[in-house]
Structure formats: C-alpha cells, structure tokens
Amino acid sequence: MSDEKPYRRLETQALLQQIAFRHGLEAMNASEEGNLAWVTSGFPVEIPFAMNVFPTYPEQAGAIIGAQKIGPEVCGYAEDMGYTQELCSYAMVSIGSTDRPDDVPMGSLPTPQALLACNNICGTVLKWYDGISQMTGAPVYLLDTPPLEGDQTPHHREYVRSGVERLVEFLSTTFQTSLEEERFREVSELSSKAIHLWTSALKECQKSPSPLNCADRFLTMAPVVSSRGTEHCVEFYEALLEEVQDRAKQGIGAVREEKVRLLWDNIPPWFALRFFNKLAAKGVVFPADTYTHAWSGAVEGTDTRSILDAIVDIYSNVYLNKGLDAKVDKMCQLIKDFDLDAFVMFSVRSCKRYSLGQYVSKEIVTERTGIPGVVIEGDMVDSRLFNEAQIETRIEALLEMVT
C-alpha cells in the first residue's frame, strides 16, 4: 500500500505564511503609528487602504484561533465576562483575546484606532465592535447596508452612498488623511485584479478533476479577504492561478482519485479542516462552496465618483445581505456550473445570518437541481458544538445515495 496522501498540497500555500507574517508586522506598525482599523470581512477595504489606514481582520484572527484548536478556551474568556455561548464565536474569541491577550498564543490583534463595521454580513458586528470599543477606546463607524430583497432601489443606493461618503469623512477626521483620486484608482485596480485572478482560479475547479479542494480554497482566500488592494495580494494570486491552471491543464486533481463532487455551504469548521482530507481518501472533492465565492465582486471605476458607485453596488449586493432566494440561486448555479453530485450544508451555530433557512433551502435546491443534500451541525471556531461521529454518518449516508 502506498504512503501517498489522498490529497495534493498546493505549492503556493507556502507563500501564505509569508503574507500572514507580513500582514501581522504591518498591522503592528500601523497600530504604533496610530493608523490601524479593525474591519469586518464585508467592508469596502479599498477606502481605508487608499487613505493609508491599515485594515486588519478580527474574523481572520478568529479563524486562526479556530485552526489552532483553542476556540473553546478563548470563547470561555468571553463567557467569563458574561457573554453567552450563543453569541458568534468570532465575536467571542475576539472579545476573549482582547481581554486576555497573554493567555492566547498569538496574542490579541494590535490595538485599533478605529473599528469599521459593515452590516452586509450580519448585524452582530455592530454590537461586537461596540464591545471592543469599550475595551480599547477606538471609535466605531457603521456602514449601514439594509438587507435587499430583489434589485437595489435608487433610494437604497443613495442611502448607502451617503454612508460611504460619511465613511470618507470619518477616516479623514480620525486619521488626519484624505482620499486622493490617483491612489484610490490604483488601490481599486489592484483590488479588482486580485478578485479577477481569484475568481479565475475558482473557475478552473469546474474542470474534472478539480484542481482545488475546499480546504485549499479556505486557506488561499485569506489574502483576497485581508489584502485586496495591495500589490503583494495580486502577486500571490498570480502564483496561485498559475499553479491551478497548470494542474487543470495536466489533469492533476486536488484529490488523487476524484469520484464524487460536492458543494459546501457556509463557513468551514476551522478546527477540523482535516475533515475534508479524510473525505478525500474516499475520492470526495468539493470543487465549489458558497463561502469563498462570496469574494467575487470587482470594484471597477475610472474616477473617485465611479469607484464609490461600484463600492455601493458591490458591498450592498453581498448575497448574505439579500433574501434567501439569492443564496438558493447561487447554490443552484454552482451545482450546474461545477457539475456537482450532491451538497453539504454546514449549519453554523454562531452564524445565524448564514445558517438561516438552510432546511428550506435544502428542499428547494434538491427540487430545482435533482441532487440530494444534507445539513450537518457545528460551529466554525467552537469545537464543543461539533460531533464528528454524527457528521460522518450523515455525510457517508449522502455519499451512499450518489455512488
């Protein structure tokens, strides 16, 4: 029997550590210089970048805490402060590690001078950042993007547009900076370029065998979330796309013997990424997921006005900010485009916004695509909520239905 692993490791993954290290250093410097903002994952980061305010991501730090398998412990620090276990575990570990940085291996994120929240991904972010504001003294700016049902109305666009303009004012006063058109154009071009490279890499997974599996995408999405708008982010995705295209051209799959192609819905259990590798041993690959496909809107424009318009459009139309139909449509489209056999919906206890309506969505997706799905339960960071034996049975039963 061969000792070969059932999955192939990406060479580009090695560059990730460098990027993460660099990001950490830059955040530390920015904090010392009084230029650091904590931002939520759906925030129009192109604006702070263009105004020389460095953004860093508590959600990403939460994912790292999850991957280090210390989620329950760090969530516990927030529970000790009186926060409930029902609260988002990204918020819990963020609050917990801010309260007790010395008890967390990577410490807490460097002290912010501003907290920038956009509620296009959920409403919890505001209260979470309010909590952090009490602890750090940094002011909160909320970019309010009311949920959309159907197309964005002119009134909605105008409202978000005024929020974006006030954001520019807020950053100008808080950080004594300004938004210069040339720099803004440069940042938005770099951001769009990274997004195009990333979405091209995702698209390659339509091929069989798929050159990327779920865990590959969950790791390599980090720069497009945290560093879009920078040159090194573009360089990373050029390298990734080259490797992915090379794999696709040569028929090299992320999984050595691809037999079943599944769709993944929701944030992954960061503490159990090996779960995907275990499935790889059964020939299971996930060529697409709803999570990493969320970073696909390119901010394109020729001047400050048109770039701001693009930002209003893209950041309002994140599908978590739209009705359930948008998510169902997205799933059905991915199933069709990526030629998938079944789907797995991860019901994340923390993330009510993402997990809402999954049972109904499952029914509708099966009705529309004719393929079966399963809902499994757990959390992205708090492993106390993840029962591996129950999850294995559900997934294996699903596989038995399609093989």
Partner 1 sequence: MKDEDKLGVGLDIGSTTAKGVLIDSTGRVIASHLQMTGASAPRSVESILSALKETSDLDLFDIPTISTGYGRNIVEIATDTVTEITCHAVGISRLNPEIRFIVDVGGQDSKVMRLGSNGRPADFELNDKCSAGTGRFLEVMARVLEVSIEELGPLALESQAPCTISSTCTVFAESEVVGRIGAGETPTDIAAGVHLAMASKIGSLARRVGIKEPICITGGVAKNPAFRHYLSKELGGELWVPENPQLTGALGAAYLALERH
> Is the Cβ of residue 215 or residue 376 nearer to partner 1 in the bound state?
376
Q: Choose, by CB under 8 A, the member of 183, 366, 368, 371 that binds partner 1.
A: 366
What is the gyration radius of the CA atoms in the chain, in angstroms? 21
Least distance (Å) from partner 1 to the CB of residue 351? 17
Least distance (Å) from partner 1 to the CB of residue 374? 8
Residue count of the chain, please give it: 403
Contact (CB, 8 A) for 316 and 157? yes
Candidate ranges 38-46, 256-264, 299-307, 393-401; the one touching partner 1 (CB under 8 A): 393-401
130 binds partner 1 (CB under 8 A): no
303-362 residues in contact with partner 1 (CB under 8 A) are: 359
Query: What six digits make up the tokens of 176?
Result: 């004594």
389 binds partner 1 (CB under 8 A): yes
Contact (CB, 8 A) for 225 and 252? no
Candidate ranges 8-16, 37-45, 197-205, 381-389; the one touching partner 1 (CB under 8 A): 381-389
Report the DSSP beta bridge partners of residue 148. 322
> Is the Cβ of residue 214 or residue 395 nearer to partner 1 in the bound state?
395
Q: How far, in Å, CA of 344 to CA of 268, rounded? A: 11
403 binds partner 1 (CB under 8 A): no
Q: Of the candidates 317, 328, 333, which has an alpha carbon nearest to the alpha carbon of residue 363?
A: 328
Buried b (16+ CB within 10 A) or exposed e, 240-275: bbebbeebbeeeebbbbebebbbbbbbbbbbbbbeb
Q: Compute CA distances 68 → 106, 107, 272, whole Å.
A: 10, 13, 10
153 binds partner 1 (CB under 8 A): no
Q: Choose, by CB under 8 A, the member of 29, 134, 333, 390 that binds partner 1.
A: 390
Q: How far, in Å, CA of 180 to CA of 34, rounded? A: 20
CA atoms within 13 A on the CB side of 114: 24
Residues 6+ apart with CB under 8 A from 293: 202, 330, 334
Q: Choose, by CB under 8 A, the member of 11, 32, 325, 396 that binds partner 1.
A: 396
Contact (CB, 8 A) for 87 and 107? no
Candidate ranges 14-22, 36-44, 328-336, 391-399; the one touching partner 1 (CB under 8 A): 391-399
393 binds partner 1 (CB under 8 A): yes
Least distance (Å) from partner 1 to the CB of residue 381? 17
Candidate ranges 163-171, 257-265, 321-329, 388-396; the one touching partner 1 (CB under 8 A): 388-396
> Is the Cβ of residue 331 or residue 374 nearer to partner 1 in the bound state?
374
Report phi then psi at 267, rounded to 5: -65, 145
Applying CB under 8 A, the site for partner 1 has a residue count of: 15
Query: What six digits make up the tokens of 154?
Result: 């002119």
394 binds partner 1 (CB under 8 A): yes
Q: How far, in Å, CA of 121 to CA of 91, rounded? A: 13
> Is the Cβ of residue 22 or residue 352 nearer to partner 1 in the bound state?
352
Least distance (Å) from partner 1 to the CB of residue 90? 22
Candidate ranges 162-170, 269-277, 307-315, 387-395; the one touching partner 1 (CB under 8 A): 387-395
> Is the Cβ of residue 300 or residue 377 nearer to partner 1 in the bound state?
377
Q: In the complex, which residues of this chain contact partner 1 (CB under 8 A)?
A: 359, 366, 372, 374, 377, 385, 387, 389-390, 393-394, 396-397, 400-401
